Amino acid sequence: MSISYRCLVTAILLSAATSFAADPNAVVFTDPAKAGIDYDLQGEYAGTVPSGDEDLKIGVQIIALGNENFQATGFIGGLPGDGWSRGDKSHTAEGKLENGSLRFTTDQDGGEAVSEVKDGSIIVYIGGTKVAEFTKVHRQSPTLGAKPPEGAIVLFDGSSTDAWEGGEIIDGKWLGAQNIATKEKFGDHQLHIEFQTPFMPTSRGQGRGNSGVYLQSRYEVQVLDSFGLEGKNNECGGIYSIAEPIVNMCFPPLAWQTYDVDFTAARYDDSGKKIKNARATIRHNGVVIHDDLELAHGTPGRHAEGPEPDALFLQNHGNPVVFQNIWVVKK
């Protein structure tokens, strides 16, 4: 059977939009073992489909929306950061779990197209014939667990919160997001930080795994469960109110993720007038999402811009976001 990649992707995903209205009955999971079948089905899938003389990479991200509802996005060319870039083709759809099976169904010229998600795979049938299979993948940041280099200032290694004003160790090893700032203040520096968002399937938007990493307490790199979304400036990896990420590299909730930041502070003259904006290059899960980005102004929520060094600040937004392996190298 000869099938175009567009037909096949349509078979995988129904063309539908999803509403992200707030849900007052939000549920929260921090333990994957207790998160249920919705958590097991969500995630990233990858494979190929026939397209002319070559196989075409396809990536699929499935988001659990609670109450056995799901949203999926298919990426033509591969998963974000692994073949797919912002502006490339993608298709978004809805599905529902029924009788233990998650299915997407649509009509095609060759017959009814059914995409079934179970046992770590998406299997696509058209007219009752299997035409493709996509396997669940678990990507990991190449900088996860990166050891601090010689001369680095270790801000959190799981043993204490001595480097912070306040702070609480969660489950004996993680740093909670509780509106805490480092005792030391920083100018130009490199930062490594690892974070994990909770699984909140019934929540939407800013209510879903929200926190923030404030460089110099002035420029917020958003932390949010934005897995599978467009990637805006108020979503994960965005510089709030300034810039959206080049590509949304957000992994599924409960996966550990990394930010690696090269930050250059703003410059001021002797009168206190700013003469050069701050700049930052940021890698999210190992992929550049801001490349020498100029930060024309500060972001709301902490301190105004100024000539003096300032602390790293971790924002509490009411969600159980946790951090680990945080260190800084002064430049």
Which residue stretches of the chain are H helix? 5-12, 36-41
Residues 6+ apart with CB under 8 A from 278: 215, 216, 218, 219, 263, 264, 265, 266, 294, 295, 305
The pLDDT value given to residue 213: 97
**Residue labelled with tokens 């994960």:** 236
- Report the amino acid identity of residue 222: Q
Torsions phi, psi for 230 (to 5 deg): -70, -40
Supply the CATH classification number for the domain 153-330. 2.60.120.560
Tokens of 105: 């169904």
Q: With contact defined as beta carbons under 8 Å apart, do 265 and 188 qualify?
A: yes
Between CA 284 and CA 287 the distance in angstroms is 5
Tokens of 27: 């549920």
Torsions phi, psi for 23 (to 5 deg): -115, 115
The pLDDT value given to residue 280: 98
Return the CATH fold of 5-137: Lipocalin (2.40.128)
Q: Domain boundaries in the chain?
A: 5-137, 153-330
The pLDDT value given to residue 105: 75
Residues 6+ apart with CB under 8 A from 16: 92, 93, 94
* Beta bridge partners of residue 92, listed in sequence order: 73
Could you list the pLDDT tens digit for every one of the 331 residues in the chain? Answer: 344 444 444 444 433 222 233 344 678 999 999 999 999 999 999 999 887 778 899 999 999 999 899 998 989 999 999 999 999 999 888 899 988 889 877 666 656 778 899 899 999 888 888 888 999 999 999 999 999 999 999 999 999 999 999 899 999 999 998 899 999 999 999 999 999 999 999 888 777 889 999 999 999 999 999 999 988 999 999 998 999 999 999 999 999 999 999 999 999 999 999 999 999 999 999 999 999 999 999 999 899 999 999 999 999 988 999 999 999 999 9
Which residue stretches of 46-204 are H helix? none
